Chain A
Amino acid sequence: MPRNLWSRVTLVAVMVVLSGWYLYPPKRTINLGLDLQGGTHLVLGVEADKYVASQTDRAAEDLKATLERKGVAVKRIAREGDATVVVELASPQSWNDALTAAAELQNFERRDENQGAGRFKLVMSERVVSRLRDDAVRQGLETIRNRVDQFGVAEPTITRQGSDRILIQLPGIHDVARAKALIGKTALLEFKLLDERVSVEEALKGNLPDTDELLYQRRVDKETKTERKTPYVVQKRALLTGAELTRAEVQADPNSPGNWQVSIEFTATGTRIFGEVTEQNVGKHLAIVLDGSVYSAPRINERIPGGRAVITGQFTVDEARDLAIVLRAGALPAPVTILEERTVGPSLGADSIRQGLIAISASAAVVFVFMLFYYRLSGLIADVALGLNLLLLFACMAAIGATLTLPGLAGIALTVGMAVDTNILIFERIREELRLGKTPRASIEAGFRRALRTIIDTHLTVMGTAVILLSFGTSSVKGFGASLFIGLAASLFTAYFFTRLLFDVVYMGRRKVDAISI
């Protein structure tokens, strides 16, 4: 008996058992891509610049407040670009006070100073800008994960892609439009006072003070499907935002049967601020603004101490539920846009699986029959090795959690074709040695040895291209690369090592070998 025969048999047996363990049950263990099981693939772009701009705005407001406190008269404080604040003082006399105040903004550097004109700029440092951009994407990702979890999708994938993109994969969802609305909504909830000194007519003409803005209330008539827009003049400054929110629940709207509303509850700080705001502004109107649209603008009749409010807007129960989810999960730090969307319906996925399996079985069948016909017993050995190859391939994919996609299935069909190449190389080599007049045993020995170098070279080059495919961002190409790579790695083992083992078992055990069936 050849050396190590038993340890080699044990190794193969262990691999087969392991494969079975990883693969059972196949429905649960093999990760199907969205193109096979149906679902939605979304790539969102985070507008991180807007987050930087909002942080700059906040810094400008802080500075304005500090200067006011110090009694420094200011002509203008405004954001310029995304990361610059321009400060113009009313008079250069208070220059030093202004600089002390500006020094409190740690993330900014002073530039373009002009003491005579009382003017300087504050520029956010590169380092801080890139940190903020990164924060915007990371917080956005967390928020979206939260929303998707609450929405209830089985096994979603939410990962960061590149510097400012988020990849979301939602397998098996049916109402794609609703999921997209849920994910893509910025959900910035703000409470702002109406400016009742300015008439809406004046505002529509463009006569609007710096501190105000014109926002609309949008109502869609359920019967005619037409949208009605009502303008409101609102103070820009938000008195309270959704950040101070602890709960959001769906309720039936008592004033409008059949519609739903969302009741919200504030944190302790939020409750205090809400109490103060309502106390100081009795008689005025408070607009509830979500993502730049006014939902309602009720009159404040008295101080509201309990820290509760209601958002109404003729919501259906689903709309109200989704709004409650996004409010609970919090606002996205920056708006997102859909850069890429791929949705596959479940029926198409099922068709693809069927066709892919037919293609694999057919190509395997062609190869099986051909090998058996051409190489006889050796062909049978190659076929068994091919079977093991497929088993290992699927087990590996299950073990490392690789995703099987439609191009991935094609990759497997191709692996089948290329895996037998190894066996053909070896068998042709053995035949050559036989022709030279060597004994069967010596021919097997020499055939395997001589073919090895070529086999390693061919496998490494193709595995190299598979790795390049794997580095490609798109899941369909990645899936193809994954199955090609794993298939070839498995083929190195099965077509060489395992075939050799079978040859040893069949031929080397006997005392005398007269001929090889090849």
Chain B
Amino acid sequence: MIELFKNPNYDFIGKRKWAYYVSIAFTLIGLTSLVAMGGLRYDIDFTGGTLVQVRFEQAPSVAQIRSSLSTIHLGESVIQRFGDEREFIIRLPLAAASSEEVQKRVQSALSAGGLGKFEIRRLEFVGPQVGRDLQLQAVYLVLVGLVWITIYIALRFDLRGGVAAVIAVVHDVLVCLGALSITNREFSLPVLAALLTIIGYSVNDTIVAYDRLRENRGKMVPKGRTFADQMNDAVNQTLSRTILTSLTTFFSAAVLLFFGGKTLEDFAFVLFVGVITGTYSTTYVAAAIVVDWTRYVEGRLRRSKKAVAKA
């Protein structure tokens, strides 16, 4: 039998003060980047606009494409290489012209630019109403997801656990958004889907630890074990499972990131970051908060009892 850990007994919970600093630091780094970059860079899914994916027969430079597009006056275009060197994505802001008109103009500008033969492989046009709707729906989706998790955990465990799990999830989402911002990636629909998956994944992990804690507390608790000790036991008992599952999921995400192609890259990137932070936040955000919250509540109870005894 291969074992990663034999009866692990690490003091995870005892180090939680340090972990709070780490969590706050990472969240702040993410937020700082978001503020410095002026918020997330939204994909045309959310802002509206036109995206054209073009594959050329001979690789042109970004400057060549830009100069040939400059003649059509469609506003500030963003031109990016996409995957291999012959493939490019051109993003155009919302213009007064209709989608057909934009398409026609791009096509004729590229033909006139002397860039050789090319094929338009993808064209997306998102109108302003649709973009606004999607923005609203994205916020709504994440909120509904969080509410669902709080309710589920509050019913199955307790409210403290539910709130702590949601704080952990919010932490994960902030870290992922920060990572997106630092690596200068765009917030698109697939990224939104990845974020929701991470929400599910992070909670999944947290539930395994809670479940173990509840099971242990159902049995006889040895004398002298504080709540913090019991939480630490639960984390240790589920440690091999946590590490193994994180590794397999992490590998899946890594495979998507490296072999999934350019279209899935941002999606896989969020999963990649999310699996790491989701695993971390189970112990050091969710469990840690539950422990400190419980200590606070128990401390107040004890003090009020003492006060009653004195009187």
What does the 1/0 interface line of B188-205 toward A look like (CB < 8 Å)? 011011001101110110
CA distance A229 to B99 in the complex (A): 23
Contact between B123 and A180 (Cβ–Cβ < 8 Å)? no
Is the pair B241, A351 in contact by a Cβ cutoff of 8 Å?
Answer: no
The yes or no answer to B287 lying at the interface (CB within 8 A) is: no
Determine the chain B residues whose CB is within 8 A of the CB of A4 once the complex forms. none
Main secondary structure of the interface of B (DSSP, over half): helix
Interface size on A, residues (CB 8 A): 69
CB under 8 Å from chain A, chain B span 80-121: 98-100, 103-104, 119-121
Contact yes or no, B121 A474, CB < 8 A? no
Q: Which residue of B lies closest to A41 (CB)?
A: B124
Complexed CA–CA distance, A476 and B201 (Å): 20
Whether the Cβ atoms of A461 and B193 lie closer than 8 Å is: no
Interface residue from A338, A355, A417 paired with B259 (Cβ < 8 Å): A355
Known: A359-B255, A461-B152. A477 touches B126 (CB 8 A): no
Any B CB within 8 A of the CB of A253: no
Instruction: For the complex, give the distance between the alpha carbons of A128 and B99 in Å.
Output: 34
Q: Is A399 an interface residue (CB 8 A)?
A: no
Q: Cβ of B2 and Cβ of A374 under 8 Å apart?
A: yes
Total of A-B residue pairs, C-beta within 8 Å? 205
**Shortest beta-carbon distance from B163 to chain A in Å:** 15
User: CB-CB < 8 A to A181: which residues of B?
Assistant: 100
Asked if residues B119 and A432 are in contact (CB atoms below 8 Å), the reply is no
User: Contacts A367-B252, A425-B208, A458-B207 known; A468 to B121 CB distance under 8 Å?
Assistant: no
* Residues in chain A near residue B203, CB distance under 8 A: 461-462
Q: Is the CB of A469 within 8 A of B2?
A: no
Chain A window 405-426, contacts with chain B (Cβ cutoff 8 Å), 1 for yes, 0 for no: 0110011011011101100110
- Is B189's CB under 8 angstroms from A477's CB? yes
Neighbouring B residues of A180 by C-beta, 8 Å: 100
Given contacts A407-B190, A480-B190, 10 further A-B contacts (CB under 8 A): A342-B124, A343-B123, A345-B121, A358-B260, A366-B248, A418-B249, A421-B241, A424-B244, A458-B204, A462-B200
- Jot down 29 A-B pairs with beta carbons below 8 A, ordered by A: A177-B100, A177-B103, A338-B100, A342-B122, A343-B122, A352-B263, A355-B259, A363-B252, A363-B255, A367-B251, A370-B247, A374-B2, A407-B264, A413-B256, A413-B260, A417-B249, A418-B201, A420-B248, A425-B241, A460-B152, A461-B148, A462-B204, A464-B149, A465-B149, A468-B141, A469-B141, A474-B189, A476-B190, A476-B193
**CB-based closest 4 A-B pairs:** A417-B252, A355-B261, A462-B200, A417-B249
Residues of B within 8 A of A (CB): 1-3, 7, 45, 53, 55, 98-100, 103-104, 119-127, 129-130, 133-134, 137, 141, 144-145, 148-149, 152-153, 156, 189-190, 192-193, 196-197, 199-201, 203-204, 207-208, 211-212, 215, 237-238, 240-241, 244-245, 247-249, 251-253, 255-256, 259-261, 263-264, 267-268, 271
